[in-house]
Amino acid sequence: MIKGRRFAAIDIGSNAVRLLLSEVFETDNGPYFRKISLIRMPIRLGEDAFILGKISKDKADRLLNTILGFKALVAAYRPLGFRACATSAMRESGNGEKIRKHILAQTGVDIQIIDGKEEARTIFANNPWSRLSDDSVWLFVDVGGGSTEITIFSNGKTVSRSFGIGTIRLLEDLVHRSQWKDMKSWIRDHTRHLSGIDAVGSGGNINKIIKMAKCTDGRTITYGKIKKVRDHVKFFSYDERITKLGLKPDRADVIMPALKIYMSVMKWGGIQSIAVPQIGLADGMVRIMYREHIHSRKKQKSDGTKIQSTPSPGKTDKP
């Protein structure tokens, strides 16, 4: 029986908090990453952070209880590596750091509040970049509740940018026209000299959109099909999106803003279709931990030192 290496990651986003339990197997074609379990808790921290400027006590308590529950699951899973990261809602909240310290004191879980560039870099870790040839051209877009991260790979190099345009911000009318113009200019400036751009999308919304579009391969969706989904969904009320379209309550209201963002990015980048491999920030965290683990094993082996044992869930690895 082949034994895989286990890793766990917590992604504290603006719309939901996710726990990913993953296992990595070594194969002749490289590491194979398999999701064992993905648990999602819809707390919507961004609703407080972006409107009030701070996270309310109610949502802070819900986050604490969620981390306590996730910590117990991680302890039972016994991973080789464990990491917890928070994105735009926590980093922009006036009391984000205070909440982070409180959770650390109560649970032992050291949450890393990462900036937009680190978030983009982590999401970018989701694919076998080392196998991309220098003449490959890729655009990676991740749409969250508080921000949109875009990374472009061309000529063997990458350039990333995080934009304060997210589904919750759009829902609450918190995105200024100048921000749209900024993203449009940046995308066009970095893609106008490129041709044959392949695109990859990540985030819970694009995964739902591709399912709604009923794409034959289940992994790639064209601009035209995304537009059809948008034209179909817009005729349903919030309640009908839940009862008739089967969307979760915290997905039913942000689906339209997400469609607008993805369609805008594709239009400005001249992209006809986008691949949806069903990956996100937590998957990138697992891949980075795996690479760090392999590097550490090689170094310890060459140095003749003892390989460390499995870390406690309270000892979060730092990125």
Domains for the chain: give ranges and CATH numbers. Answer: 5-115 (3.30.420.40), 127-275 (3.30.420.150)
Q: What DSSP state is assigned to residue 134?
A: T
Mean pLDDT of 77-81: 96
CA distances from 193 to 186, 196, 197, 248 (A): 13, 10, 11, 40
Dist. CA 245–CA 237, nearest whole Å: 10
Say whether pLDDT at 129 is over 80. Answer: no
Q: In what order do the strands lie in the sheet with 148-154?
A: 157-163, 148-154, 138-143, 198-202, 273-275, 220-222
pLDDT confidence of residue 123: 86
Dist. CA 170–CA 164, nearest whole Å: 10
pLDDT confidence of residue 133: 57
Mean pLDDT of 165-179: 96
pLDDT confidence of residue 303: 73
pLDDT confidence of residue 261: 98
